[in-house]
Amino acid sequence: MMWDYGFGGWWMWLPGLLFGALVIGGIVVLIVLLVRSASGHGGTGAASGYGAPGGVQPDRAKQILEERLARGEITPDEFRALMATLDEGRRGGRTG
């Protein structure tokens, strides 16, 4: 008699569901990796904003001052004075 036809394979949907989830998850991971590599995130080096060895982020204020000096916006004397002010502020030399 065939009154329980189809009941024997009720558990077969589970592997299919898991396989589908793995495929979709893999596609999502690939898309995220492609977007990160295209935008310059997720790596080490100048593109990701980490130029120093070991993944240490460079000092942005010093970098800006160096760029302004290179463009001729400030003189070397002004650069040294501003760097001294930055160092003083980092050591807690400012009060108030």
Cα 42 to Cα 53: distance, rounded to the nearest angstrom: 15
What's the pTM value of the predicted model, to 2 decimals?
A: 0.38
Per-residue pLDDT in tens (0 to 9) along the chain, 96 residues:
455 565 666 677 788 889 999 999 999 999 999 998 888 765 554 444 444 455 445 588 889 999 999 999 999 999 999 999 988 887 776 554
Angle at CA of residue 66, ends 39 and 81, nearest 5°? 145
Burial 59-94 (b: 16+ CB within 10 A, else e): eeeeeebeeebeeeeeeeeebeebeeeeeeeeeeee
Please state the domain extents for the chain. 56-90
